[in-house]
């Protein structure tokens, strides 16, 4: 239990930040699942659109302290490779 006023404030701030970060990470995970569903269905155009939206959300989350920039970059790279593999398979 925090005793000083500043420690109590930090507890409140950390709780708010935790909720924000969890919501952002959940949003990214949901978007990844949608992208994977489009890949599984083989719909190239829809998968491409989902990747575009996912990239936008990852960049937004990485601009905060929720996710490291390199983590977001790595995710984008891996998901793009999967999309490109589907493109090769289709054509």
* pLDDT for residue 45: 94
Angle between helical axes of 69-90 and 5-41 (0-180°, round to 10)? 10
Determine what percent of the chain is predicted with pLDDT higher than 70. Answer: 100
- C-alpha triplet 27, 32, 37: angle, nearest 5°: 125
CATH number at residue 50: 1.20.58.110
Q: Which residue range forms the structural domain that includes residue 12?
A: 5-90
Number of domains present in the structure of the chain: 1
The list of the chain residues with pLDDT below 70 reads: none
First vs last C-alpha separation in the chain: 61
> How much is the pTM?
0.86
* pLDDT for residue 1: 84
């Amino acid at each position: 239990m925090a005793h000083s006023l500043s420690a109590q404030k930090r507890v409140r701030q950390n709780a708010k930040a935790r909720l924000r970060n969890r919501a952002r990470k959940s949003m990214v995970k949901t978007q990844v699942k949608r992208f994977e569903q489009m890949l599984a269905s083989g719909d190239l155009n829809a998968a491409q659109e989902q990747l575009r939206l996912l990239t936008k959300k990852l960049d937004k989350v990485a601009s905060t302290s929720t996710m490291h920039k390199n983590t977001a970059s790595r995710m984008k790279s891996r998901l793009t490779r999967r999309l490109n593999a589907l493109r090769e398979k289709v054509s």
